Amino acid sequence: MLTLKLISEETERVIKGLGKKHFKGAKEAIENVLEADRRRREAQAKSDKNKQEAKLMAAQVGTLMKQGKKEEAEEIKSKVAALKQSDKILEDEMTKAEKELTTLLCSIPNIPNDDVPEGAGAEDNVVVKEGGQMPDLGEEAMCHWDLCKKYNLIDFDLGVKITGAGFPVYIGKMARLQRALEAFFLEEARKSGYLEVQPPYVVNEASGYGTGQLPDKEGQMYHCNEDNLYLIPTAEVPVTNIFRDVILDEKDLPIKRCAYSGCFRREAGSYGKDVRGLNRLHQFDKVEIVRIDTPDHSYESLNEMLEHVEGLVKKLELPYRILRLCGGDMSFTSAICYDFEVYSAAQKRWLEVSSVSNFESYQANRLKCRYRNYETKKTELCHTLNGSALALPRIVATIIENNQTPEGIRVPKCLVPYCGFEILDDKNF
């Protein structure tokens, strides 16, 4: 969440930034934050003054009793009791103001970086780079859901029977290709200096709060009611929360972690062509990269992450483009976000396969993730970053569609050492 220091010292910049993100009622929200903080600080000042006065008066009581001035001592005792009663009321006011302040701060999104373009939605995103060669498949090209049925690679109907829509069953060579992609992505991350971890697939409320999924996105997460745990929408959540309530040494930054995990998303409200086949699932696999860095270096880290993801799609031989998202299309928590899309030649559309974001100090403030400055020895908030590297479903969909041949589906060369075959076909063993 935004810091009170930023809101107090750069109020107009914050309001302007929230406007760029199309956050309704930005000025009123910031005014409410400042008012709640004023009431909290005012109550705190009065309470501190009361405590100081009570302490001085209490010291007089013993002296007066020794001097035989019992009546005066009792009068002072009454005043001390009144101050303590007043202090209790003030503490209640502080607690109420603090709760209100936290609720207000949690309802306000991160402000965008200056490089984020103006815009209200996806149509206003800016293409910053394109690469790869567009395949020419002709009019007879099949979409991945038909190819999967033809070669018995993915059974969508069986997934519906076992669980429901959005939970496909991968079969034979396709299951092996899934494992190959996971291994390839993890190995490439390792080569780039990311330390692999295997995180839990469920998290508690504190973890969901720390990375900003709660209270903003609880409707999109699967909730285990009895244990009050949430299935993770991405490995970002448990991996970033490794550093919750931690003070790091500046010399250890940037910290680089990667993780493979299953991801679970309710995707409430999704419908139409965007959800067909592998385009949008409730359960899918993904390799995530996470960085914890200093404010001075985090944008260099962001560029390195973009280069890493671009390297993956290049090695997979997929046509791609990189978009810088506009203010109105960004997530609640990000300060800047780049989407990677690959071109699905059979569907004739671009499919998002990765988002790479810098959250600056927004997540770190919620996580209380800090580092000790090497020169000043003071603690400061870290910057957090993450990116999909990569999400499997749409990558698989594009590989299947773009590489279809009369003999079967050609496997990208970089994956052959990991899966052990060059063609995806109905010879599943």
The pLDDT, as a whole number, for residue 77 is 76
Residue 272 has pLDDT above 60, yes or no: no
pLDDT above 70 coverage of the chain, percent: 97
Better-scored residue on pLDDT, 66 or 137 = 137
- 251 pLDDT more than 70: yes
Q: Indicate the pTM of the whole model.
A: 0.92
Q: Is residue 69's pLDDT more than 80?
A: no
Dist CA 1 CA 109 (whole Å): 7
Tell me, what's the pLDDT at 51?
A: 82
Find the radius of gyration of the CA atoms of the chain: 28
pLDDT of residue 62: 67
Number of neighbouring beta carbons within 10 Å of residue 18? 23
Model pLDDT, residue 196: 98
What is the structure's pLDDT at 209? Answer: 95
**Peptide linkage before 390 cis (omega within 30 of 0):** yes
Question: Could you count the other beta carbons within 10 Å of the beta carbon of residue 51?
Answer: 14
Of 244 and 63, more confident:
244
**Residue 19, H or E segment:** helix 11-20
Strands 169-170 and 154-155, sheet pairing: antiparallel
Tell me: the pLDDT tens digits for 96-135?
999 999 999 999 999 999 999 999 999 999 999 999 999 9
- Confidence label for 60 from pLDDT (cuts 50, 70 and 90): confident
The token pair at 332 is 């609640």
> In 3-state terms, what secondary structure has residue 277?
coil
Q: What is the pLDDT of residue 80?
A: 76
Q: What are phi and psi of 165, to 5 degrees?
A: -60, 140
- The mean predicted confidence, pLDDT, of the chain is 93
Alpha helices (H) along 260-408: 298-315, 362-367, 392-402
- Please give the pLDDT value at position 428: 65
80 against 324, higher pLDDT: 324
Cα–Cα distance between 113 and 117 in angstroms, integer? 9
Q: Which pLDDT score, from 0 to 100, does residue 78 have?
A: 80
**To which residue do tokens 């569609």 refer?**
401
pLDDT reading at 217 higher than 80: no
113 contact partners, CB below 8 Å, separation of at least 6: 335, 336, 358, 360
Amino acid in position 323: L
371, 167 in Cβ contact below 8 A?
A: no
Give first-to-last CA distance, the chain, whole Å: 51
Is 90 exceeded by the pLDDT of residue 86? no
pLDDT band per the 50, 70, 90 thresholds, residue 273? low
Please, are residues 261 and 201 in contact by the beta-carbon 8 Å criterion? yes
Q: Which residues contact 189 (CB under 8 A, 6 or more apart)?
A: 196, 258, 287, 289, 308, 389
Residue 361 — φ and ψ, nearest 5°?
-95, 5
Closest CA to 313 of 386, 260, 391, 235: 391
* Residue 335: pLDDT band with limits 50, 70, 90: very high
Which domains are present in the chain? 4-106 (1.10.287.40), 122-424 (3.30.930.10)
Please state the rounded mean pLDDT for residues 352-366. 98
Q: What is the pLDDT of residues 284-308, one digit of tens each?
A: 999 999 999 999 999 999 999 999 9
